[in-house]
Structure 1
Amino acid sequence: MNQTHPLESLLRPAVELNTAVVCFACALMCVFAPWALALTPSVGIGMAFAFLGFGLWRGRQAWIVLRYRRNMRRLPRFALRSDQVPVSTRSLWLGKGFKWEARHTQRLHESQQPEAERYIKPSRLYRFARHLESRLEPVRSLYFVIRLLSADSALNPFRPLPPVGGIPALHAVEWREIDVRLPLGERVAHTLVEGTTRVGKTRLAEVMITQDIARAAQDVVICFDPKGDGDLLIRMYIEALRAGRGDEFYVFHLGYPGISARYNAVGRFGRISEVATRISGQLSGEGNSAAFREFAWRFVNIVARARHSLGQRPTYDQILSDVVNIDGLMIEYAQQTLAKHDAHAWDRISEIEGKLNDKNIPMAMKGRDKRVVAIEQYLQQARIRDAVLEGLRSAVRYDKTYFDKIVASLLPLLEKLTTGRIAELLSPDYHDLEDPRPIFDWQQIIRKRGVVYVGLDALSDFEVAQAVGNSMFADLVSVAGHIYKHGVDDGLPKVDGGGSGKVAINLHCDEFNELMGDEFIPLINKGGGAGIQVTAYTQTMSDIEARIGSTAKAGQVIGNFNNLIMLRVREERTAKMLTDQLRKVNVASRMLVSMAGDNPDVDSSVDFTSSGGDRISTVQVPMIEPADVVSLPKGQAFALLEGGQLWKIRMPLPLPDKGKNLPMNIQDIAEDMRARYSTGERWWEDVMPPPIHFDPPQFREVANQAAYQPPPVGPMDMGEASDAPWQE
């Protein structure tokens, strides 16, 4: 409706409807009884068209008012199947919505006035129907009445409102919705999604991930899911199959090591010192712990250099074994190295070893293996120059008790990563060709344009999930640095003269505050140059500060997210992170003015004077308040995109897919995850048709016909994973 008056008023009776009804009646009279209006038949036809056109114009104005009032109580349903989600190679679709402007703040202000209350709150009949439901619930014989009153059908005049809560007026202030899209060029600036539990963060993640997987099979998609959401896993796998990327789909899940792919976070590196950095970076660096972390870095670096020189790929299991038993590594390395310098070295070492006893062993070497003491005494005489050997010698020269103390902070971390069946996943045996579980690393995933779901099972073991997540981030930072310098295809032959470029790496981090460490800061700060596009999901700012332990570092992390999508939050400070970035606008208000005064002139025939009118004043207010963010319905959000443009969006409710047969192992995982974990992200089920149910016998038949082998998810060719070089 065009704004032709100082104040726009839409929460009012639709008086235009009266004019429209009169115009339609006059049009009928002009056609069938022109004589009643003193018109000839020919003129009556012309007047009928004039009345009809004016009536349609006024009817449209009335419809705008009626639709506006209806939306204030119940928004139109918005639901899509995953294959109906728009996919573009130029933009990311976020949902339906509109750009928030000053007129929307004005309309929201008007909806909060007392005189608009009857258009906002449910009618008396609706409230009576809900009251009747609760009163009749104990009466089983009247159960059919409750079913009729609570039926979610457009034919039910008293159907209940959708269980999304919040204030519908926040979205109803604009009835002309459009597709809200974020240009792909803006995604490299990273996106932060904030919202409390059960408001739709995972649903928004599904919408984004669906598009990332379907986008021309060129984007790498990596999803970190600390809690383990079975529906998100199924969604990613269905979309990978639909996009023809099933062979590039990997599942890494700490809760299901029997079918999970395997991953070695320290197996690939550009410089050998990266191994020590990735491990020691997870240790505390505050206060006195900083010195112990430096010692840990040094000893891990010594161990990693020795294993690398021996031609072995570092693993967590091997590093733990070497740190606990540095003597064994010293002996193994010396056996391979010393013979190259002196053919009789071991004869002399054996001779020295035979002469050793508790009295002639140096005090600092007490508790060491006698062969290690003999090697050390031999090297003091032989003067062999070997950097790795010198490092091992410096480690064994420490008093064993003192050595155990200074590496004490390192051992708990390594034990978290090497305990139980998790060791099979994080320290894979590259020579075991009987194990069908694939082995992957980030360089391989990026080159293959892979799709990876990482389930960390944080609800079962938070400490291990945190350690594994930080290890993966540290490895990803290293890979990003290599891509930034050399490109994705460094070391591979060029095809058709093409250069080594970069690809979009979409990194989705659900509950990322649980995963975040010091490794995350360089990832979002400098990872954009390597094509990494981070979409992080969390609940509040306090979660980030509590995890990272510093307000300044938390601000550093948040400052790297240029796009902000905020669903309903419960913390006012988090809401202000959005509202404080918005400008203020002028809101007009109407004031009724009435005045009366006596006439002091007794000789005048006028006893008093009076006047009345409306006064319009403006006041400057924030575009939205923190209370508006707190009052958002489920599935709706405010989004600050493209340099501070405020958008109001709502996500589509999910409709069930029209069935794709899933392998039994994926289905079993998802069903077990649903049984074990209650994520609360199924808030839409009460207002949507029931989800698709999979029939296990049907899948068994399909699996038998296709000779499907259940164990792993991902490529089954172990040759590529086993033969891939671990040093770039």
Structure 2
Amino acid sequence: MARNHALDTLLRPAVELYTVQVCLAMAFLCVFAPWAVALTPLFGLVTAVAFLGFAIYRLRQALRVLRYRRNIRRLSFYSMTSKEIPVSNERLFVGKGFRWEQKHTQRLVDTYLPQYAPYVEPSEWTNKARRLEARLEFAPFPLTLLAKATAWDNAANPFRPLPPVGGLPRLHGIEPEEHDVTLPLGERVGHSIVLGTTRVGKTRLAELFITQDIRRKRRGQHEVVIVFDPKGDADLLKRMYVECERAGRANEFYVFHLGWPDQSARYNAVGRFGRISEVATRVAGQLSSEGNSAAFKEFAWRFVNIIARALVALGRRPDYLQIQQHVINIEGLFLEYAQKYFDEHDPKAWEKIIFIESKLNDKNVPFNMKGRPLRVIAIDQYLNQTRVLDPVMDGLRSAVRYDKTYFDKIVASLLPLLEKLTTGRMAELIAPDYHDVNDPRPIFDWMQVVRKRAVVYVGLDALSDTEVAAAVGNSMFSDLVSVAGHIYKYGIDDGLPGEASSKVAINLHADEFNELIGDEFIPMINKGGGAGLQVTAYTQTLSDIEAKIGNRAKAGQIIGNFNNLFMLRVRETATAELLTNQLPKVQVFTATPASSASDAVNGKTAFTSNTHDQLSATSVPMLEPAHVVGLPKGQCYALIEGGNLWKVRMPLPAVDPDEAMPKDLQELAEKMRKAYQVGQATGSEWWEAPGQRRVADDLPLDLQDDFRQMAQGAADAGDAA
């Protein structure tokens, strides 16, 4: 079977087996009956060896055809425990697969030809078995055994059902010789994006990448791993902890989760900065800058900057809670800073201020200062009489001199954001109390994480509150961009004694990143690579990004910064075309049988005939969007290393018997599993009315069991109905 022809037809009977049979028969004769083929015993042995060698050669060709036909219908099972995942210091393991070439497009086109349907589509008896199973679902006991027999997932079952992964097995089965697919680590600085609809393997691929990032150790040091998980995947949290334990990094593992504050670490998004203006940029940067909102955003930036400068001057670390308090009540901060300033520079000023205050009444108070405390008005009038060269004082004074109603209007867009970030127990997590020594929950910041080479899991509880999750995620992104800029300029050991260390890889994984994306994300992928930041983003479609950003040009700008593309099954044609439009066209050959007959010109021959196959070439896309839509679960196309296309399937997870977690993380993972079931974002069962559990908990202990029994009885009655 030659392999160097234009048409490499493998969808056919394995005719090589006929040659194998003949060669085995001849070898038997040459050994046991050499006289039957006119050979001496010695030459019979030599000839038998030759026949066996040729039989082995043809058998390998036959097995290739048989394996190809099997893979077209059903791929072999591929699983791997986390221990077995290969970890390299030079390459990132993706899965098993092959590089897609013209011959694979040719083979894929051939599978759609009607003459090859018996080798590609399930047989009629297999389809009948599936219909029989559906009919016998509620049949009496003896008949259900027949349905279980036909549904038995074993190679001995001739009617064995396909794996529940959907899609078209032929997309990967067209290449029987697959091998490990890896991505050079040097390519990851160019960032990677993983696109795929829900429940097709994005999180599994994330686990595969994160496991390697946690366990990798280059030049004697581990790498930084940061995972943003908006929806809250308990299995992903468990995987990260187990891998940290295996790698000896359990003490470097932080869990930040908005939904479970008791088990969460704490984090201050604005507490660390290189320049004080970064605080205002991180807060006001999340406000809309479209149309008339741009002016209000600038006003909000200015007032947050004034407040941050005053807090730092007073020796305090800014946080969202303090910023919110002083935006609402700027007079309190003005009085506090004035107290500090005059005590240090002009202790006698208070006598004059109190004298001015005693002369104030409703008639002589300026119109723009009405509603302000008299002490604030007195300080303002004193500053009119005395020249004070202090930028913080000038900023605070300009803020309090605004008409209070006007001031409230221009910061109106800022207050909802601050409310999202400081409502309830969330303030404990993103505005931590550094002086509370009785709180065992750790506090971290990004520079500390980078220096410790730590692993961070960020659960944003987006199923419960999408707005708050996006606000906190954007704050963290903005802070991370600032830290990346500092590392790019000064390195990670700036300000520390000793020799500066080399740049460390910061592996950032953003699952469902369309929930988090904002203007802060653009500079991160634009310029973060210089600081060692390697972003891997996971989302469903391009439209999700565009809908979140609200600007098609910005969405294109974001996508244009991802050099590596992993495309799982998608349902949107425009998303599939992001891959297919970047691929070249290839020549596909079609064989057309032709025959002819003609009368002979001489009397000896009655007629002549001619039969041949005519090859014609057609230019077609290397892949069609339909091939992306038809991918089975756990498979993807990878466009990596400068546009090379690979077809990959990821290993399915196998059970690890020795995986264990500490008690507090076990409780958190169990709560996440219960709370984040599909369609149960509130943590209650679908049949329960909102607040039902809370009502039961408020009842006396002797009545709680009766209440729950009543609720269960009502649910059972509903099921019976």
TM-score, normalised by the number of residues in structure 1: 0.91
Contact 1:341 1:384 in 2 (8 A): no
Q: Report whether the alignment pairs 1:224 with 2:223.
A: no
- Partner amino acid, structure 2, of 1:100: W
Distance in 1 (CA, whole Å) between partners of 2:57 and 2:341 is: 94
Contact 1:229 1:679 in 2 (8 A): no
- Partner amino acid, structure 1, of 2:12: R
Residue 343 of structure 1: aligned partner:
347
Q: Report whether the alignment pairs 1:560 with 2:564.
A: no
Task: State the identity %.
Answer: 65
Distance in 2 (CA, whole Å) between partners of 1:31 and 1:249 is: 69
- Partner amino acid, structure 1, of 2:503: K
Residue 210 of structure 1: aligned partner:
211
Once the two structures are TM-superposed, the CA of residue 138 in structure 1 deviates from its matched residue by: 1.9
Residue 182 of structure 1: aligned partner:
183
- How do 1:539-688 residues align onto structure 2 when only pairs under 5 Å count? 539-596=540-597, 610-678=609-677
Distance in 1 (CA, whole Å) between partners of 2:182 and 2:86 is: 10
Once the two structures are TM-superposed, the CA of residue 585 in structure 1 deviates from its matched residue by: 1.1
Contact 1:486 1:500 in 2 (8 A): no
Superposed CA offset, 1:341-363 (max 9, x none):
22211122112112211111111
Residue 149 of structure 1: aligned partner:
150
- Partner amino acid, structure 2, of 1:527: G
The worse-fitting range, judged by mean Cα deviation, of 512-521 and 656-665 is 656-665
Contact 2:242 2:660 in 1 (8 A): no
Residue 369 of structure 1: aligned partner:
373
Contact 2:526 2:561 in 1 (8 A): yes
Residue 492 of structure 1: aligned partner:
496
Contact 1:263 1:440 in 2 (8 A): yes
Q: Secondary structure at the match of 1:188?
A: helix
- Partner amino acid, structure 2, of 1:499: A
Contact 2:73 2:120 in 1 (8 A): yes
- How do 1:338-487 residues align onto structure 2 when only pairs under 5 Å count? 338-487=342-491
Q: Secondary structure at the match of 1:94?
A: strand
Once the two structures are TM-superposed, the CA of residue 123 in structure 1 deviates from its matched residue by: 2.2
Match of 1:288 among 286, 289, 292: 292
Distance 1:413 1:6, change over 3 A: closer
- Partner amino acid, structure 2, of 1:39: L
Superposed CA offset, 1:677-698 (max 9, x none):
2369xxxxxxxxxxxxxxxxxx
- Partner amino acid, structure 2, of 1:105: T
Distance in 2 (CA, whole Å) between partners of 1:160 and 1:214 is: 38
Residue 508 of structure 1: aligned partner:
509
**Gaps spanning 5+ residues in structure 2: where?**
680-721
The worse-fitting range, judged by mean Cα deviation, of 227-236 and 118-127 is 118-127
Once the two structures are TM-superposed, the CA of residue 135 in structure 1 deviates from its matched residue by: 2.6
Once the two structures are TM-superposed, the CA of residue 555 in structure 1 deviates from its matched residue by: 0.9
Deviant stretches of 4+, over 3 Å: 595-599, 603-611
Once the two structures are TM-superposed, the CA of residue 86 in structure 1 deviates from its matched residue by: 0.3
Once the two structures are TM-superposed, the CA of residue 610 in structure 1 deviates from its matched residue by: 4.7
Distance in 2 (CA, whole Å) between partners of 1:608 and 1:140 is: 68
Residue 319 of structure 2: aligned partner:
315
Once the two structures are TM-superposed, the CA of residue 606 in structure 1 deviates from its matched residue by: 8.1
Q: Secondary structure at the match of 1:299?
A: helix
Distance in 2 (CA, whole Å) between partners of 1:431 and 1:629 is: 55
Once the two structures are TM-superposed, the CA of residue 2 in structure 1 deviates from its matched residue by: 4.6
Q: Secondary structure at the match of 1:458?
A: coil
- Partner amino acid, structure 2, of 1:316: Y
Contact 2:263 2:668 in 1 (8 A): no
Superposed CA offset, 1:323-350 (max 9, x none):
1000000000000001222221112211
Distance in 1 (CA, whole Å) between partners of 2:532 and 2:6 is: 50
- Partner amino acid, structure 2, of 1:258: D
Superposed CA offset, 1:286-324 (max 9, x none):
000000000000000000000000000001000000010
The worse-fitting range, judged by mean Cα deviation, of 119-128 and 363-372 is 119-128
Contact 1:490 1:500 in 2 (8 A): no
Superposed CA offset, 1:435-471 (max 9, x none):
1110000000000000000000001000000100000
Distance in 2 (CA, whole Å) between partners of 1:340 and 1:254 is: 42
Q: Secondary structure at the match of 2:10?
A: coil
- Partner amino acid, structure 1, of 2:62: A
Q: Report whether the alignment pairs 1:250 with 2:254.
A: yes
Residue 75 of structure 1: aligned partner:
75
Q: Secondary structure at the match of 2:613?
A: strand
Distance 1:6 1:382, change over 3 A: closer
Superposed CA offset, 1:65-87 (max 9, x none):
01100111110110000110000
Once the two structures are TM-superposed, the CA of residue 588 in structure 1 deviates from its matched residue by: 1.0
Q: Report whether the alignment pairs 1:171 with 2:172.
A: yes
Distance in 2 (CA, whole Å) between partners of 1:656 and 1:607 is: 74
- How do 1:231-242 residues align onto structure 2 when only pairs under 5 Å count? 231-242=235-246
Distance 1:348 1:273, change over 3 A: same
Once the two structures are TM-superposed, the CA of residue 141 in structure 1 deviates from its matched residue by: 1.4
Distance in 1 (CA, whole Å) between partners of 2:535 and 2:6 is: 45
Distance in 1 (CA, whole Å) between partners of 2:678 and 2:46 is: 65
- Partner amino acid, structure 2, of 1:415: E
Superposed CA offset, 1:5-33 (max 9, x none):
34211000110001101111111111112
Residue 198 of structure 1: aligned partner:
199
**Gaps spanning 5+ residues in structure 1: where?**
681-728
- Partner amino acid, structure 2, of 1:417: L
- Partner amino acid, structure 2, of 1:587: V
The worse-fitting range, judged by mean Cα deviation, of 148-157 and 625-634 is 148-157
Once the two structures are TM-superposed, the CA of residue 49 in structure 1 deviates from its matched residue by: 0.7
Superposed CA offset, 1:568-623 (max 9, x none):
11111111111111111111110111335679x9x989887653321011111111
Residue 282 of structure 2: aligned partner:
278
Q: Secondary structure at the match of 1:417?
A: helix
Residue 138 of structure 2: aligned partner:
138
- Partner amino acid, structure 1, of 2:357: E
Distance in 2 (CA, whole Å) between partners of 1:38 and 1:5 is: 38
Once the two structures are TM-superposed, the CA of residue 4 in structure 1 deviates from its matched residue by: 4.1
Superposed CA offset, 1:533-583 (max 9, x none):
000001111111111111111111011000001001111111111111111
Distance in 1 (CA, whole Å) between partners of 2:533 and 2:385 is: 53
- How do 1:117-132 residues align onto structure 2 when only pairs under 5 Å count? 117-132=117-132
- Partner amino acid, structure 2, of 1:653: L
Q: Secondary structure at the match of 2:618?
A: strand
Distance in 2 (CA, whole Å) between partners of 1:81 and 1:291 is: 55
Q: Report whether the alignment pairs 1:94 with 2:101.
A: no
Alignment size in residue pairs: 675
Distance in 1 (CA, whole Å) between partners of 2:598 and 2:371 is: 108
- Partner amino acid, structure 2, of 1:106: Q
Distance in 2 (CA, whole Å) between partners of 1:406 and 1:131 is: 67
